[in-house]
Structure 1
Amino acid sequence: MFNGGMATTSTEIELPDVEPAAFLALLKFLYSDEVQIGPETVMTTLYTAKKYAVPALEAHCVEFLKKNLRADNAFMLLTQARLFDEPQLASLCLENIDKNTSDAINAEGFTDIDLDTLVAVLERDTLGIREVRLFGAVVRWSEAECQRQQLQVVPENKRKVLGKALALIRFPLMTIEEFAAGPAQSGILTDREVVSLFLHFTVNPKPRVEFIDRPRCCLRGKECSISRFQQVESRWGYSGTSDRIRSASLLVLLPIDSCFPSSPPQTRSAAPRCRPLLPALAAPRTRGQREGRGGSRGRVPALPCPVSPQGPDSHYGTKGLRKVIHESPTSGAKTCFTFCYAAGNNNGTSVEDGQIPELIFYT
């Protein structure tokens, strides 16, 4: 094209959907392998590289975004990653949001995301935030969306723009006080939904509700384990009741396939299946149950998590310690576990004796 008539003729080619700076970056890369991208041009350059099928430049743009991913831009980059079909970048954004949920939802870009991105985040079981604060952020998003759609910012329209996202708020994970002070008075829920949730909080057996009651389990950090037992004895019998752990200050997993066996015990099988206690973020707080401090985190009660009896008589742990302190070998951080007797028929489980050989937790 640089020979013949076109060489002496001034010709302009319009590219209406490509920014000049991004197109210049593309040309420089094609002719000199020079990568010229920055925070202001990376997204338009990524779009241009995809439009003209230059995968090497795409890779440079994605790598730049990964290195500059932070909590305050995670939602903006997640939206772009989904738009440009970059699953690896989207996955990294979601992981960042899981680890820094509070900072991410308070960032300016949160209210700018589209509904599908909001839904993708609310579906996750790994968000590290209390549900009532998540609800507050979603309400802020709905107000911004009403303005984008030029709708009056009233409860009816907030519910309308939220659509399927509203059903993903896990109202049953809130305390009754949190629900009464916030969602119940927001006007976003119908009267029938408010009544059914109040019944869920106050009566037993709990009636079914239309909202998810599954805890958001935050499995983050390094896996650690502790055991309170100093000795193993036999035999432990089963009387049809359950062994249980009543409260935990952080997410604890019970290795339910590696309870003390009838043969000489191993504390843990090669690949145990684990049943999680309710995580601290989702645990209901009831009057009189809050205990001291555990490590650097407040101790928050979790619901009892029974391990059903099964199989023949077995060995059991004895000489249990009332307090076990785990110290991280790398950071030196300490996590304190305090074991207390829980009233009720627990099949003989106590501070001294029990059938659960160890607890797995995440620092």
Structure 2
Amino acid sequence: FFFSPHATGPAQSGIMSDREVVNLFLHFTVNPKPRVEYIDRPRCCLRGKECSINRFQQVESRWGYSGTSDRIRFTVNRRISIVGFGLYGSIHGPTDYQVNIQIIESDKNQALGQNDSGFSCDGSPNTFRVMFKEPIEIMPNVSYTACATVKGPDSHYGTKGLKKIIHESPTGAKTCFLFFSSPGNNNGTSVEDGQIPEIIFHT
């Protein structure tokens, strides 16, 4: 690393303090490694353009929250990485929501990723982005459950839901989503109606 051509760039740029440069070099050369002030796990590299699908054809009001998760099951026909959801916001004007989002592998009942987050809405029937901290890899023909546990006032909701959506990328790659209602306590969200209208992903 000391003799790498990369060391002459950032290390001499003034971006980092002398102490940070020393810690960084030590991190790559000694054990045990000193603690560093950055994420030292490999970062997931997303290829391709961000895409999204919306499973509803119409927006209505009102949808309430009682602490139960809105859930919808889905499968896809090819490997993708999900980075977040689009959620509906308040029917009462600008509002802040708290939300926990998760993706669960349905058959194993295993959470693959989750985030405690929030979003601000403007009272419109638009969707509002809530993102995962890291992309979640989705494999072909495996059943997953998208979950959102929303805290806040009554919101808009989607109707005339689609069971099947085919997304075609600019390169012609087709991603087919199939949706299924999640059994059990799902706050009323189904294929036809409810929350979690949008899935944001990379192909």
TM-score normalised by structure 1 residue count: 0.35
**Match for residue 90 of structure 2?**
261
CA contact (8 A) 1:252 1:276 kept: no
Q: Which runs of 4+ in 1 moved over 6 A?
A: 119-122
Partner amino acid, structure 2, of 1:221: G
Partner amino acid, structure 2, of 1:124: P
Greater per-residue strand proportion: 2
Pick from 304, 309, 325 the counterpart of residue 166 of structure 2: 325
Structure exhibiting the larger radius of gyration computed from Cα positions:
1
Q: 2:3 matched to 1:85?
A: no
Pick from 28, 38, 47 the counterpart of residue 116 of structure 1: 28
Q: Larger relative CO (CA 8 A, sep 6+): 1 or 2?
A: 2
- Paired with 2:64 and 2:81, the residues of 1 have a C-alpha distance of 29
Greater per-residue helix proportion: 1
**Match for residue 194 of structure 2?**
354
**Match for residue 214 of structure 1?**
none
Pick from 164, 174, 198 the counterpart of residue 334 of structure 1: 174
Partner amino acid, structure 1, of 2:125: P
**Match for residue 68 of structure 2?**
241
- Paired with 1:317 and 1:121, the residues of 2 have a C-alpha distance of 38
Q: What is the Cα deviation at residue 81 of structure 1?
A: 3.5
C-alpha distance after superposition, 1:182-241 (max 9, x if no partner)? xxxxxxxxxxxxxxxxxxxxxxxxxxxxxxxxxxxx533201111010111221122320
TM-score normalised by structure 2 residue count: 0.58
CA contact (8 A) 1:339 1:351 kept: yes
| Backbone CA RMSD of aligned residues | 3.5
Q: What is the Cα deviation at residue 273 of structure 1?
A: 3.8
CA separation of 1:332/1:278 partners in 2, compared to 1, >3 Å: closer, same or farther? closer
**Mapping of 1:130-279 within 5 angstroms?**
218-246=45-73, 249=76, 250-255=80-85, 258-262=87-91, 263-268=123-128, 272-275=129-132, 279=136
CA separation of 1:233/1:331 partners in 2, compared to 1, >3 Å: closer, same or farther? same
Length, aligned pairs only: 148
**Runs of 5+ in structure 1 lacking a partner?**
1-76, 89-114, 127-217, 284-296
- Paired with 1:253 and 1:332, the residues of 2 have a C-alpha distance of 21
Q: What is the Cα deviation at residue 305 of structure 1?
A: 4.9
C-alpha distance after superposition, 1:69-127 (max 9, x if no partner)? xxxxxxxx998244x43349xxxxxxxxxxxxxxxxxxxxxxxxxx828x99972131x
Q: What is the Cα deviation at residue 327 of structure 1?
A: 0.7
